[in-house]
Structure 1
Amino acid sequence: MELYDLKGKKALVTGGTKGIGNAIANELAAAGATVIISARTAPENTPHHFIAADLTNAAQVAALAQQITESFGGIDILINNVGGLTTPGGGHGSLTDAHWEQELDLNLISAIRLDRALLPQMIEQNSGVVIHISSVAGKQALWNLNMAYAVSKAALNSYSKALSTELAEKGIRVLTVAPGATKTEPMVKFLNDFSASAGITPEEGMKQLMAQTGGIPMGRMAEPEEVAQLVHFLVSPSAAYLTGTIYAIDGGSLPVVS
Structure 2
Amino acid sequence: MDNSLKGRVALVTGGTKGIGKAIADRLSSEGCKVVVTARTEPKENPNGHYFIASDLTQPESAESIAKEILTTFGRIDIIVNNAGANLSPGGGFSTLSDEHWITDWQLNFLSVVRINKALLPVMIEQKSGVIINISTGAAKQPIWEMTMSYSSAKAALNIYSKALANELGAKGVRVNVVSPGVVKTPLMLEFIENLAKSSNIKVDDAFKAVMDKVGAPLGRMADPEEIANLVAFLVSPEAKYITGINYSVDGGALPVV
Which residue does the alignment assign to 1:10?
Answer: 9
Contact 1:181 1:221 in 2 (8 A): yes
Which residue does the alignment assign to 1:89?
Answer: 90
- Once the two structures are TM-superposed, the CA of residue 63 in structure 1 deviates from its matched residue by 1.2
Q: Which amino acid aligns with 2:29?
A: A
Which residue does the alignment assign to 1:53?
Answer: 54
TM-score normalised to structure 2 length = 0.97
Which residues in structure 2 correspond to 1:1-258 (within 5 Å)? 1-2=1-2, 5-46=4-45, 47-213=48-214, 215-257=215-257
Contact 2:5 2:236 in 1 (8 A): yes
**Whole-Å Cα distance in 2 between the matches of residues 207 and 45 of structure 1?**
33
**Whole-Å Cα distance in 2 between the matches of residues 188 and 169 of structure 1?**
41
**Whole-Å Cα distance in 2 between the matches of residues 132 and 67 of structure 1?**
21
What secondary structure is seen at the aligned counterpart in 2 of 1:50? strand
Per-residue CA deviations over 1:48-71 (Å, capped at 9, x if unaligned) read 111111112122221111111110
Q: Which amino acid aligns with 2:27?
A: L
Q: Which amino acid aligns with 2:239?
A: A
- Once the two structures are TM-superposed, the CA of residue 198 in structure 1 deviates from its matched residue by 2.1
Per-residue CA deviations over 1:72-95 (Å, capped at 9, x if unaligned) read 012100000011001111111111
**Higher mean C-alpha deviation, range 165-174 or range 88-97:** 88-97
Per-residue CA deviations over 1:86-132 (Å, capped at 9, x if unaligned) read 11111111111111111111100000000000000000000000000
What secondary structure is seen at the aligned counterpart in 1 of 2:146? coil
- Once the two structures are TM-superposed, the CA of residue 17 in structure 1 deviates from its matched residue by 0.5
**Whole-Å Cα distance in 2 between the matches of residues 87 and 34 of structure 1?**
34
Size of the aligned set, in residue pairs, is 255
TM-score normalised to structure 1 length = 0.96
**Whole-Å Cα distance in 2 between the matches of residues 248 and 206 of structure 1?**
21
**Whole-Å Cα distance in 1 between the matches of residues 97 and 138 of structure 2?**
20
- Once the two structures are TM-superposed, the CA of residue 209 in structure 1 deviates from its matched residue by 1.8
Contact 1:54 1:61 in 2 (8 A): no
**Whole-Å Cα distance in 1 between the matches of residues 60 and 198 of structure 2?**
38
Contact 2:211 2:219 in 1 (8 A): no
Percent of aligned pairs sharing the same letter: 51
Per-residue CA deviations over 1:141-161 (Å, capped at 9, x if unaligned) read 011111000000000000001
**Whole-Å Cα distance in 2 between the matches of residues 126 and 241 of structure 1?**
15
**Whole-Å Cα distance in 2 between the matches of residues 192 and 38 of structure 1?**
26
What secondary structure is seen at the aligned counterpart in 1 of 2:145? coil
Task: List structure 1 segments (4+ residues) > 3 angstroms apart after TM superposition.
Answer: none
Contact 1:175 1:246 in 2 (8 A): yes
**Whole-Å Cα distance in 2 between the matches of residues 95 and 60 of structure 1?**
26
What secondary structure is seen at the aligned counterpart in 2 of 1:206? helix
Q: Which amino acid aligns with 1:16?
A: G
**Whole-Å Cα distance in 2 between the matches of residues 150 and 64 of structure 1?**
26
Q: CA RMSD in A?
A: 1.0
- Once the two structures are TM-superposed, the CA of residue 169 in structure 1 deviates from its matched residue by 0.2
Q: Which amino acid aligns with 1:181?
A: V
Structure 2, unaligned runs of 5 or more:
none
Per-residue CA deviations over 1:149-188 (Å, capped at 9, x if unaligned) read 0000000000001000000000000000000000000100
What secondary structure is seen at the aligned counterpart in 2 of 1:58? coil
- Once the two structures are TM-superposed, the CA of residue 196 in structure 1 deviates from its matched residue by 2.1
**Whole-Å Cα distance in 2 between the matches of residues 117 and 222 of structure 1?**
32
**Whole-Å Cα distance in 2 between the matches of residues 185 and 156 of structure 1?**
23
What secondary structure is seen at the aligned counterpart in 2 of 1:183? coil
Structure 1, unaligned runs of 5 or more:
none
